Chains A and B, each alone.
Chain A
Amino acid sequence: MKSRRDQPLVLVVEDYQDAREMYAAYLQFSGYEVAEATNGIEAIEKAQRLMPDIILMDLALPRMDGWEATRRLKSDERTRKIPVVALTGHALAGHAEGARQAGCDAFVTKPCLPDALVAEIRRLLDRQPTGADGRASRGTRKRS
């Protein structure tokens, strides 16, 4: 993998294969490079190795959950600056707060349509002075 990419790299961490591949397909369709991880440990390993531009992190994961993985990434100097978008099926109040405390930069509740997710990723990447790429832009719809 080359260090400088033409398109931003999104690390999708999700144990549910259909959802992972769906988001990956739509992100690739939307012009992003995608790497995948199925648990927290793999996520940390890939984040350190690939240095993605953004991480989409499901919170309920086997082996190491999303909160713990986020905490570790945010306490590591190398990966500290990578934005993390938490993704959870639990809309309960505690989840959002827990994710924010763990260091997540944004919080998305499932079900989340692929274009809404892409819009959120684009928003976060646009905040970043580096790594943002206009090529990936595509019209998004608002959730109703």
Chain B
Amino acid sequence: MSRVAAQMASVSSLDSEPKLALVEFLLTSMDIQESARRAVDWVVAHAPVEQAVVLVVEALSNEMLLVAEHGVSSAAIMDFALSRDDGKHPLVQALSSPEPVFISTLPPHLRAPIEARAFHAIPLRADTRETAQGLLLASTASPQIDPDTLWLARTLGKQVSRLLSRQLLAETRFGQERMLLYSIINAVTDPILLTDTEGKLIIANSHAEKLFAAPEESSEGWRRAVALNNMLFSAALSTSAVTMSELARRELLLVDPLEGSDLLFELLSSRAKDERQGTFVVSILRNVTDLARAKEEIEESYRTLRVAQAEVRDERHRLDLIIDSVADPILVTDQEGDIVLMNTPAERLFSPSPATEMEAALRRVRANGANLTSFVSNVLTRSGEQRYRGEIQLADPVTGRPLPVEALAGTILSEQGELMWVVTILHDLTEAIEKGKLYEQLKHASEQLERKVQEATAELAEQNELLRRQHIELEQASALKSQFLANMSHEFRTPLNAILGYTHMLLNNVTGQVTEPQRKSLTRIDSNSRHLLALINDILDITRIEAGRMPLNVTSFAVGDLIAEVMAELEPIIRRSNLAVTSKAKGPLPKLRSDRQKVKQIVLNLLSNALKFTPAGSVTIQAAFERRAKQMSISVRDTGVGIAKEDQAKVFEDFRQLDSSPTRGYGGTGLGLSICRRLSQMLGGTIDLTSTQGEGSTFTLRLPARPRRR
């Protein structure tokens, strides 16, 4: 342990490079032969030496053996051995010599492993006190020894001494055991110390050295730390009674000299008594720094675990509360189908309770369980599906009321994908089924209602059809009536035609001259027949208008021309009447678009009426265009008898005439104005009357300038 330092110290005095190199080599070499060879080579190279030999004493045989040579023939050194017991041999004598021995000539019977005549035999030893352990033989030309040779011998001597002592230690059995023990102690990771009772260090393993010994070159801090540690250790030893038998155990806080951090050790000390060397204390220091830290960590983990457990408990409690608060039964089953968890509503159905003491109730609970199990087993066989929906028929355990439920199951898988649990939620379907029934009833009622509505609709349609048919029948009847009237008027005419014809022939003397009284009678027949014909014609006109069989033939024409035409047609009557009949137009008249024939019929009728009922005075026809109303007005004003207020409305009624007797001077059927009003309505117009009895009447026909679309 201190040898290295000593050698380093000697090297520091070296003055040349080769020497330094050699010393360095020797320091690292652990082999005598190798060291010797390097030394021989060196001395031949750096000193005035031609031949060099190294001999070393072997301890067991006590012989000097050749370990290295240079410049010597193999014959000279072959099988060389020299016993140390051969006291007369100059080389053996040289071993005991404190100084190098100069040998100029060896006696012939003595053998030396060098061929030079003169050589120096330099003892190899660590220092002058010791017996030399070998010799360096170096050829020389003079008895004076070379200083480098001497230096080499000294250096090699130390080396040989070092290596031999080490070899010796290793080679002896005791030495081996000691080395083993030392190795073991060093191998132990805990620092081990052997101290005397005062705490003075005797042996320490390398781990202990780190704590309690500071190298010479170590820092100030290191040294202080080591000093502190020694102090603490000694104190620990002295403060506790270290008995012989017990293993004292206590904690010791030391300082890590390298890191400066605290190290906690458990110190185990026991006394060992050696009869020769007295009492020792063996101390083992176990580093518990990490242990203490680990313990703290474990305690921390434990605390965390406790907190976590408490949280889990709370969570579980909350979850229980939540699950219990759900009105629907919730169950968790394991992979075997056994219930592992359920809420209160589920317990009511699946768990025997005081309420289910009755035999029947217990049976229902079992039946419910069986139904659930069969559902869950369905879920279990359907692996892969996350959700499963089904319906289960359960029964209320207490009342026995059937309880149809909808079951919704979800599977919970482990991280490895294995099915762990099945969570099933049951939902009471009773209400839904009730609602479904109600819905069905409602639907049924609705269908009935719809059917009734359909029936009513069908009936209505039937009645409509009936009405439609009746309408058609009525129309047909009406048409038949019109046809009948038309036919009838024809049938009337045929005999009337004969009456008129024969009367006419008689009056024309076709059958001979008639007397005056006869002529008077024939004239009465003729006029009454004509009146009858006029009646028939008027009735036919009314029938045609009412039957819609009087078509309109609309053209454009001048009203003035039409009035002139009417006046020309009635010219004979006008002439006979001695009335002042005039016509005038008020302003320029546009052409009228209407049915000319029907307008003419109306005007003709109005004018002939005026002539008929005006005994004296005048009749004036006036045409005017009322621009604002876009209508044409044709008025016929007379100075005749006039019509009383109360009769004015009646004149347009059928068969209304003050005197219907044709021979009383007025004639006419009494249907004229009625037809006029009907015709004017057909043309979209009106006929108005203003009259004062005794003064005259004014009939005004108003027609739209253009027929209105109907």
A89 partner, pick from B493, B504, B505, beta carbons under 8 A: B493
CB-based contact A111/B501 at 8 Å = yes
- Specify which chain A residues have a CB less than 8 angstroms from the CB of B505 in the assembled complex: 22, 25-26, 29, 114
- Specify which chain A residues have a CB less than 8 angstroms from the CB of B502 in the assembled complex: 18, 22
Q: Would you give the 0/1 interface string for A72-109, flagging 1 where the beta carbon is closer than 8 Å to chain B? A: 00000000000000000111110000000000000000
CB-based contact A90/B510 at 8 Å = no
Residues of B39-64 whose CB lies within 8 A of A = none
| Most A C-beta atoms less than 10 A away, residue of B495, B496, B501, B510 | B501
Q: Would you give the 0/1 interface string for B506-536, flagging 1 where the beta carbon is closer than 8 Å to chain A? A: 0010100000000000000000000001000
- Say yes or no: A92-B497 contact (C-beta < 8 A), given A26-B510, A115-B508: no
- Specify which chain B residues have a CB less than 8 angstroms from the CB of A26 in the assembled complex: 501, 505, 510
A3 CA / B505 CA spacing, docked (Å) = 31
CB-based contact B494/A90 at 8 Å = no
B244 to chain A, nearest CB (A): 164
A18 CA / B497 CA spacing, docked (Å) = 9
Q: Would you give the 0/1 interface string for B488-499, flagging 1 where the beta carbon is closer than 8 Å to chain A? A: 011101111110
Q: Which residue of A lies closest to B526 (CB)?
A: A113
A113 CA / B504 CA spacing, docked (Å) = 7
Residues of A7-22 whose CB lies within 8 A of B = 16, 18-19, 22
- Say yes or no: A110-B493 contact (C-beta < 8 A), given A22-B505, A25-B505: yes
B501 partner, pick from A23, A90, A92, beta carbons under 8 A: A23
A85 CA / B533 CA spacing, docked (Å) = 22
- Say yes or no: A92-B510 contact (C-beta < 8 A), given A16-B498, A111-B500, A112-B497: no
A90 CA / B537 CA spacing, docked (Å) = 10
Q: Does B551 reach chain A (CB closer than 8 Å)?
A: yes
Q: Which residue of B lies closest to A114 (CB)?
A: B501
A82 CA / B488 CA spacing, docked (Å) = 32
CB-based contact A92/B494 at 8 Å = no
A93 to chain B, nearest CB (A): 7
- Say yes or no: A16-B494 contact (C-beta < 8 A), given A29-B510, A92-B549: yes
- Specify which chain A residues have a CB less than 8 angstroms from the CB of B544 in the assembled complex: 92
CB-based contact A22/B498 at 8 Å = yes
Q: Which residue of A lies closest to B497 (CB)?
A: A111
Q: Does B228 reach chain A (CB closer than 8 Å)?
A: no
- Say yes or no: A110-B549 contact (C-beta < 8 A), given A19-B501, A23-B501, A29-B510: no
| Most A C-beta atoms less than 10 A away, residue of B493, B496, B551 | B493
CB-based contact A90/B497 at 8 Å = no
Count of chain A residues with a beta carbon within 8 Å of a chain B beta carbon? 20
B417 to chain A, nearest CB (A): 100
Q: Does B486 reach chain A (CB closer than 8 Å)?
A: yes
A89 CA / B536 CA spacing, docked (Å) = 12
- Specify which chain A residues have a CB less than 8 angstroms from the CB of B501 in the assembled complex: 19, 22-23, 26, 111, 113-114
CB-based contact A19/B498 at 8 Å = yes
A120 CA / B537 CA spacing, docked (Å) = 22
B510 partner, pick from A25, A60, A91, beta carbons under 8 A: A25
Q: Which residue of A lies closest to B572 (CB)?
A: A144
Q: Which residue of A lies closest to B550 (CB)?
A: A93
CB-based contact B510/A110 at 8 Å = no
- Specify which chain B residues have a CB less than 8 angstroms from the CB of A113 in the assembled complex: 500-501, 504
Q: Which residue of A lies closest to B533 (CB)?
A: A111
Q: Does B253 reach chain A (CB closer than 8 Å)?
A: no
A16 CA / B496 CA spacing, docked (Å) = 12
B486 partner, pick from A16, A19, A23, A90, beta carbons under 8 A: A90
- Specify which chain A residues have a CB less than 8 angstroms from the CB of B510 in the assembled complex: 25-26, 29
CB-based contact A111/B496 at 8 Å = yes
CB-based contact A89/B498 at 8 Å = no
CB-based contact B504/A110 at 8 Å = no
| Most B C-beta atoms less than 10 A away, residue of A25, A26, A60, A110 | A110
- Specify which chain B residues have a CB less than 8 angstroms from the CB of A16 in the assembled complex: 494, 498
A117 CA / B540 CA spacing, docked (Å) = 23
- Specify which chain B residues have a CB less than 8 angstroms from the CB of A112 in the assembled complex: 497
CB-based contact A89/B551 at 8 Å = no
A26 CA / B486 CA spacing, docked (Å) = 29
- Specify which chain A residues have a CB less than 8 angstroms from the CB of B508 in the assembled complex: 115
- Say yes or no: A93-B490 contact (C-beta < 8 A), given A22-B501, A111-B497, A115-B508: no
- Specify which chain A residues have a CB less than 8 angstroms from the CB of B498 in the assembled complex: 16, 18-19, 22
Given contacts A92-B549, A110-B493, A111-B497, 6 further A-B contacts (CB under 8 A): A22-B505, A29-B505, A89-B490, A92-B486, A111-B500, A114-B501
10 pairs of A and B residues whose beta carbons are closest in the complex:
A111-B497, A89-B490, A18-B498, A89-B493, A22-B501, A110-B497, A29-B510, A113-B504, A111-B500, A110-B493
The chain A residues found within 8 Å of chain B, CB to CB, are 16, 18-19, 22-23, 25-26, 29, 60, 89-93, 110-115
What are 18 A-B contacts with C-beta separation under 8 Å?
A16-B498, A18-B498, A18-B502, A19-B494, A19-B497, A19-B498, A23-B501, A26-B505, A26-B510, A89-B497, A92-B549, A93-B551, A111-B493, A111-B500, A112-B497, A113-B500, A114-B504, A115-B508
